[in-house]
Structure 1
């Protein structure tokens, strides 16, 4: 690629092809003012504010630098007299119609318009051409109907940045310009308010607004200049790993802004942007609690530590090592997960450690490790933007991983084709080139049908198959019977749509698969994962950019918890507990004798608690009383546990059953690392001091381990990370200094390794990709005469996991305060159920009362309940049958019946 030589302000610079003048200036620290610019917006629609104008020799008139491509020999002046005078005039015109209420405006001190007026010596309106009085706000200017932010038209400068961000980055189009000339303003279409629009409250427009036309709703009156510090950290919600800045005042997190990064660019979702109120919430656990005579009483840390360690020692002496188990957490840091599994293995003397990955992606770890050699996302977040085809199955991406959902929509606008396979018509189904509304539990049949078409029509990548795979003939033999007609009859999908999807996926040069729990949470979950791997291998979509098999991890550090060995069969780095050489390595590193017998999984631990075989259970940051299947059984098991310790940030449904509750710090109150879905290890940074007497989990664990005689001494999380990196091959080349800015993606094998953006580049990690074909097997429980409907469960945009955090956010609760059940209009009509009516949903395990939500987005005879809520808890209804390989429960298929609740006469 030829370099482009140009001169800016008397100095020679080199530009890249298609680089704008503004790009070159920013890269070389030459300041040019902008109000409407964003690096990810299309330059064709930019330059509306005109502040970035520059003087280019030989061109008539001043040119916008944000949309002018650098050319060979170009001579540019960024601050000539003409440029400065023109910018001053532009600013004077802008403030002619802008309130000058800087003394009371909360944006004061962080307002670009204010800063530029100061820089260019603009003191106020000079033309007086508008009848509007500066500083006066009409009632009609304000739209405060959104739960999280306010739109004030009187302060809008019509730069268009919010509109373009909504249209181009989030691809929502909830707002646009209405009216013309002097009456032009930003608004929701068709006269709607923000609350009535398609707005999903991602807050991108609020974050990017250069003035105060869009501002967050604060419970306390606050101006930006009052913020004492900004602390860059990693979001504590889903597995995307968005980088954020926490705004801190008086030891309180008072706001969140996106931090431009390789994971999320400038995008956040409603939770990441606005749902931070749990951090300083009044209901936070602030002191240790000990249950005495069935009632919790506040205790000192000394009392809590002493009781816990006394019980651990006593139970170990009386019942032996097999009587212990621990549940670690996908929400705490890598360092804390590492310490927790170390405590279980080195003191409790067994491998009975697990966490909620068992409930979401255990089949991913088992399936992809078998076929490819690594059970993680093969590619990276931003690679989606350059995919030719994106196949989304079992993932409601825009709701569960909203930023990745935005990337998918951006890719669509760039020309990518979208395939969606899901029992519900999720939002991305409306943008799909092919939508396959399969029956819940029939994933394997559908994937086999797609592969049948690819092989029959000779669309496979024969060169890749021959070079980089094995067991292909077995795959051909299994899928040959799954014609589109046969697969379609199982799945309830049009055979021609299966053919269309197969051709689109196979013919894409870079085809990416995104999947989540709609694939994994089945008794055949591991087979479903391996079938997706088969599909990618068949078409050569492994080991190259913007393709691959990409499981979307549901929680902020579920990948890291797996990496750190919070699994019953794996030490950190997926090193097997039964491998004697590996065991000796950890025995040497930890100075303790270890067990080579694989431990119990989460569901097995709960079962053994119920049978009295596990007598001491330590739960850190998990809430099985909402997240696990068959909650009646879970509750009975926890009640039957001799001694239960729960370590969390709030009094959860699980903590209520504990003997000791320990108050933990949130992500904002400690240092450490999270590992996101794309295997990127990123820093978590302390922004405020722990609330009350709460402590970071790593400090609690270190003290308990010390009191148990393990002699653990860690000054800080950096020391823990150095130890775990030394024992974990994928992390060996990492340290806090190397991951300080952008983080690193594992494997990172030595201190000079740059990290790995996508896996299996030269060949699959296992040597050759293994085709592991599977025949379709029916779900464990299907509908019948007594229970005629299939219940599937999942998440919604506005809540997270068991609502431990989002349940404390007023705006989210105002939008979705209670449980609901989605029902197809035909089903609802048949049962005479009305939208908004309270009904009863009954399974073989129990029943719940919940609100009917009648929608065409769910198939007839299928119902959907989000699992977040205590009232109408979906997991009162789900069963405990497991995938035999990964031991993951089948949350996605349970048989239920629906009943109207008859009013008493």
Structure 2
């Protein structure tokens, strides 16, 4: 067991964290929330839920914020990685999940991996990619770094950092000028095509080569292969989403699918590959500031009425603060208390010093975690939780929207407790007598308020080795792909059209200079880290990698290694 594993509650006394009983810690946590909400109102409270914990924990976490406290200020670390994917997909299709299944990657004709080191970061998914290649699929890798994924590609396109939108525009223009766009699908199922066509017109192959650094012939080859394929999958990861214009990157990729009709059909789709084991599930459970469980919009009066009836508490008809907004509100004194579950923003936020300063300004900070993280060291109360992957019952939702059971294998050590038990104990001290016998009872409550999960009983999840949402009925399963409605001839059945996005390329943020020569590339693995200005020491918030004695040796400082810009660092 790690020496940093939390095994008993801690409370701050005279500036130091000291061991406490559970009653002492829970009373201290509840009293601080009560004091701040009483003085400053419910929106002085913020909650960060955990993208690595179970759906049940995330459901209860957002319910704690909205019912016990009365605020929509709830978010998680997915804000720093794949929130742009959710925003882009939801803006076009109405829901923020990938549109395909892993199996479809094996049965497709073209696979485009955009900003994705999936071979290392998503090895299970990449096995499906390899099967697809074995079955005859052509793979294209788009990434500034020639990653392990690119080694399996038929063609690697290495664009300059920050030029995703121009490259996607050039691909779109070439498809249009070659007459390869699906005019019937565009006419029937989309809006805004003429404006989109006009917006990409300046991006000739020559112009794109000058800006992106990708040879015109390679751009043309990708465009023709993607558009001519009967089936095509477009997948992306942090290379596309950890950027100042990340949502534009995602919308630019969605435009390509709309242009060619590669969505809403088996074998064709859009797949964001999420980095956390339950980043998808956290959002699905409502652990975001603008959606209730089942990705239902808070601003919809009918949705609020349904949840208010189920929960017995009025829900604010306004979006809450996201993670960035929370930190800003802390600096301005508007957020004075925070409940942090399984997140370590001091490590994961880009400006860690600013994060420390803002968290230190809080009147009351409660951290619930498995490890004694850098964030936990700032807390007034630290609550030791169980590890979701082996000490907890529940479910996770993966990148293909598949909900799967996770089962408890061992008990948490010493005094560590299950997240659900901890939240219920704090809620009880704040006047809400919550009683859940087990995680399944929490899940069944979620099923009652989320139509897309209604047909997923624990027994059915076990029998079928997981189920993709939507699953509104216990008697049937939906197709593995989303948005098949776009192909319906009947306008009523087809529903709302999917809009093209007209995007303007923003100026670069923080261009390289003498003091900061390398440009950062978002990635889930060290193959892209040769472009970082400092050695990579931690992953995913830190607790699981900070203690690794070989981490610095595995990824040494690029400058000391004599590496130049865009060179790959192969750790020895």
Task: Sort the TM-score into its range (normalised by shorter chain).
Answer: over 0.9
- Find the counterpart in structure 1 of residue 475 from structure 2: 752
1:445 aligned residue (166, 178, 201)? 166
1: CA distance between counterparts of 2:163 and 2:155? 17
2:398 aligned residue (676, 689, 692)? 676
1:381 aligned residue (63, 77, 102)? 102
1:635 Cα offset (Å): 1.0
Residues 683 and 806 of structure 1: CA distance in aligned 2, closer, same or farther (over 3 Å): farther
Contact 1:335 1:672 in 2 (8 A): yes
- Find the counterpart in structure 1 of residue 272 from structure 2: 551
- Find the counterpart in structure 2 of residue 656 from structure 1: 377
Decide which moves more: 389-398 or 314-323: 314-323
The answer to whether structure 1 residue 460 and structure 2 residue 199 are counterparts is no
Structure 2 counterparts to residues 760-775 of structure 1, below 5 A? 760-763=483-486, 767-775=496-504
Return 5+ residue gaps in structure 2 as ranges: 488-493, 528-537
- Find the counterpart in structure 2 of residue 85 from structure 1: none
2: CA distance between counterparts of 1:788 and 1:512? 35
1: CA distance between counterparts of 2:171 and 2:89? 19
Structure 2 counterparts to residues 637-656 of structure 1, below 5 A? 637-656=358-377
Residues 865 and 448 of structure 1: CA distance in aligned 2, closer, same or farther (over 3 Å): farther
- Find the counterpart in structure 1 of residue 217 from structure 2: 496
Structure 2 counterparts to residues 70-81 of structure 1, below 5 A? none
The answer to whether structure 1 residue 781 and structure 2 residue 503 are counterparts is no
- Find the counterpart in structure 1 of residue 534 from structure 2: none
Deviation track 1:351-393 (CA, whole Å, cap 9, x = no partner) reads 1101111111111111111112221111111221122111011
Contact 1:534 1:773 in 2 (8 A): no
Q: Secondary structure at the match of 2:128?
A: helix
Q: Secondary structure at the match of 1:585?
A: helix
The answer to whether structure 1 residue 421 and structure 2 residue 142 are counterparts is yes
Q: Secondary structure at the match of 2:112?
A: strand
- Find the counterpart in structure 2 of residue 707 from structure 1: 429
2: CA distance between counterparts of 1:356 and 1:702? 23
Q: Secondary structure at the match of 1:650?
A: coil
1: CA distance between counterparts of 2:161 and 2:155? 18
- Find the counterpart in structure 1 of residue 455 from structure 2: 733
- Find the counterpart in structure 2 of residue 289 from structure 1: 10
- Find the counterpart in structure 2 of residue 886 from structure 1: none
Residues 725 and 864 of structure 1: CA distance in aligned 2, closer, same or farther (over 3 Å): farther
1:593 Cα offset (Å): 2.0
Residues 616 and 417 of structure 1: CA distance in aligned 2, closer, same or farther (over 3 Å): same
Contact 1:350 1:597 in 2 (8 A): no
2: CA distance between counterparts of 1:766 and 1:400? 36
Using the size of structure 1 for normalisation, the TM-score is 0.59
- Find the counterpart in structure 1 of residue 535 from structure 2: none
Structure 2 counterparts to residues 522-671 of structure 1, below 5 A? 522-667=243-388, 668-671=390-393
RMSD after superposition: 2.1
Contact 1:441 1:778 in 2 (8 A): no
- Find the counterpart in structure 1 of residue 566 from structure 2: 859
- Find the counterpart in structure 1 of residue 77 from structure 2: 356
1:793 Cα offset (Å): 4.0
The answer to whether structure 1 residue 717 and structure 2 residue 439 are counterparts is yes
2: CA distance between counterparts of 1:622 and 1:484? 44
1: CA distance between counterparts of 2:514 and 2:546? 37
- Find the counterpart in structure 1 of residue 530 from structure 2: none
1: CA distance between counterparts of 2:570 and 2:442? 40
Deviation track 1:205-245 (CA, whole Å, cap 9, x = no partner) reads xxxxxxxxxxxxxxxxxxxxxxxxxxxxxxxxxxxxxxxxx
1:572 Cα offset (Å): 0.8
Contact 1:793 1:865 in 2 (8 A): no
Contact 2:163 2:212 in 1 (8 A): yes
2: CA distance between counterparts of 1:658 and 1:859? 40
Aligned pairs, number? 553
- Find the counterpart in structure 2 of residue 311 from structure 1: 32
Return 5+ residue gaps in structure 1 as ranges: 1-279, 823-832, 836-851, 867-905
- Find the counterpart in structure 2 of residue 802 from structure 1: 541
Residues 756 and 702 of structure 1: CA distance in aligned 2, closer, same or farther (over 3 Å): farther
Deviation track 1:713-748 (CA, whole Å, cap 9, x = no partner) reads 111111110111111121111111111131110000
Residues 715 and 414 of structure 1: CA distance in aligned 2, closer, same or farther (over 3 Å): same
Contact 1:643 1:659 in 2 (8 A): yes
Deviation track 1:262-319 (CA, whole Å, cap 9, x = no partner) reads xxxxxxxxxxxxxxxxxx4453211001111222111111001111111111112222
Structure whose CA Rg is larger: 1
Residues 435 and 678 of structure 1: CA distance in aligned 2, closer, same or farther (over 3 Å): same
Q: Secondary structure at the match of 1:790?
A: coil
1: CA distance between counterparts of 2:299 and 2:570? 40
Contact 1:399 1:797 in 2 (8 A): no
1: CA distance between counterparts of 2:476 and 2:86? 24
Deviation track 1:798-849 (CA, whole Å, cap 9, x = no partner) reads 97412323445x6xx4465576444xxxxxxxxxx542xxxxxxxxxxxxxx
1: CA distance between counterparts of 2:37 and 2:184? 58
2: CA distance between counterparts of 1:755 and 1:535? 25
1:335 Cα offset (Å): 0.7
Contact 1:377 1:679 in 2 (8 A): yes
Contact 1:325 1:617 in 2 (8 A): yes
1:797 Cα offset (Å): 6.6
Contact 2:347 2:542 in 1 (8 A): no
Contact 1:821 1:864 in 2 (8 A): no
1:687 aligned residue (393, 409, 415)? 409
1:785 Cα offset (Å): 5.4
Deviation track 1:434-466 (CA, whole Å, cap 9, x = no partner) reads 211111111110000001110101111222222
2: CA distance between counterparts of 1:404 and 1:389? 16
- Find the counterpart in structure 1 of residue 230 from structure 2: 509
1: CA distance between counterparts of 2:91 and 2:570? 32
Residues 834 and 661 of structure 1: CA distance in aligned 2, closer, same or farther (over 3 Å): closer
Residues 644 and 818 of structure 1: CA distance in aligned 2, closer, same or farther (over 3 Å): farther
Deviation track 1:746-781 (CA, whole Å, cap 9, x = no partner) reads 000122231441111232786322211312222322
Deviation track 1:176-229 (CA, whole Å, cap 9, x = no partner) reads xxxxxxxxxxxxxxxxxxxxxxxxxxxxxxxxxxxxxxxxxxxxxxxxxxxxxx
- Find the counterpart in structure 1 of residue 57 from structure 2: 336
Contact 1:325 1:352 in 2 (8 A): yes
Of Structure 1 and Structure 2, the greater helix share is in 2
Q: Secondary structure at the match of 2:257?
A: helix
1: CA distance between counterparts of 2:401 and 2:452? 10
Residues 626 and 766 of structure 1: CA distance in aligned 2, closer, same or farther (over 3 Å): farther
The answer to whether structure 1 residue 743 and structure 2 residue 466 are counterparts is yes
Residues 817 and 289 of structure 1: CA distance in aligned 2, closer, same or farther (over 3 Å): farther
Higher RCO (CA < 8 A, seq sep 6+): 2
Structure 2 counterparts to residues 769-848 of structure 1, below 5 A? 769-784=498-513, 787-796=516-525, 800-807=539-546, 813-814=549-550, 820-822=556-558, 833-835=559-561
